[in-house]
A and B are shown apart, each in its own frame.
Chain A
């Protein structure tokens, strides 16, 4: 079945650091990938839709200059949290779909902790 790989699984860093998270579709091409954020005991909130070869589409309230998304190829999207602060600490999950008929498959998630 479709596999989505996300790296790293966990990041602990100091406030002000920029953190890059990678999301790869391993056995299919994904023109669209999605980035979600999940705070403890809350649901997944869509942050942005990553489109291969074009700009990402951000949800209302998500700062595009803070959460930089690059979808340079059909198998890789990256999310960079720039100048991260403690309030950015969260569980970040990417997902992708290999065709319109298929469900979204999720990466394993990245737990980001900003000290």
Chain B
């Protein structure tokens, strides 16, 4: 079966660094995605990993280890606006009709 796990909630303070972990067990693998979702809004794309290693994109970085079925999203220099839900999602194959399977999301609360 498919299983994607991430912590339910995390808290941090402005200016800090936070790491959100995601572990997955899927029948296939063709990429791991991180999305940010503010309450009541649609998800917005943050990052994509298909090979092992770290992808850096400004204040956000994402890491993947395929052998461990593990990824993390690293957020640096936290700002209040980073308070949101962060969704880890896996695509099981490279076929065009393959949807993303989402984890339950991690709600991040940033305080001053």
Which of B41, B45, B87, B96 is the one whose CB lies under 8 Å from A44?
A: B87
Q: Give Cα A34–Cα B97 distance, bound, in whole angstroms.
A: 9
Of all chain A residues, the one with the shortest Cβ separation from B103 is: A43
- Of residues 27 through 54 on chain A, the ones whose CB sits less than 8 Å from some CB of chain B are 31-32, 34, 36, 42-46, 49, 51
Partner-binding segment picked from A14-22, A62-70, A103-111? A103-111
* Residue of A42, A43, A93, A111 ringed by the most chain B CB atoms within 10 A: A43
Point out the residues of chain B lying under 8 angstroms from A97, CB to CB.
96
Given A43-B104, A44-B87, A109-B41, check contact A100 B96 (CB 8 Å).
Answer: yes
Q: Taking chain A's interface residues, is the majority helix, strand, or loop, or is none over half, making it mixed?
A: strand
Structural contact, A49 and B99, CB atoms closer than 8 A: yes
Q: Give Cα A70–Cα B41 distance, bound, in whole angstroms.
A: 24
Instruction: Tell me the count of chain B residues lying within 8 A, CB to CB, of chain A.
Output: 20
Point out the residues of chain B lying under 8 angstroms from A106, CB to CB.
35, 42-44
Instruction: Tell me the count of chain A residues lying within 8 A, CB to CB, of chain B.
Output: 26
Structural contact, A57 and B97, CB atoms closer than 8 A: yes
Point out the residues of chain B lying under 8 angstroms from A51, CB to CB.
97
* Residue of B33, B42, B94 ringed by the most chain A CB atoms within 10 A: B42
Given A42-B104, A44-B87, A46-B101, check contact A107 B96 (CB 8 Å).
Answer: no
Q: Give Cα A32–Cα B40 distance, bound, in whole angstroms.
A: 25
Q: Give Cα A89–Cα B103 distance, bound, in whole angstroms.
A: 21
Q: Give Cα A103–Cα B42 distance, bound, in whole angstroms.
A: 14
Given A46-B101, A91-B40, A106-B35: 19 more A-B contacts, CB < 8 Å: A34-B100, A43-B103, A44-B87, A45-B102, A46-B100, A57-B97, A93-B42, A93-B43, A95-B99, A100-B94, A100-B96, A103-B33, A103-B48, A104-B45, A104-B100, A105-B45, A106-B42, A108-B41, A111-B40
Interface, chain B (partner A; CB < 8 A): 33, 35, 40-45, 48, 87, 94, 96-97, 99-105
Interface, chain A (partner B; CB < 8 A): 6, 31-32, 34, 36, 42-46, 49, 51, 57, 91, 93, 95, 97, 100, 103-109, 111
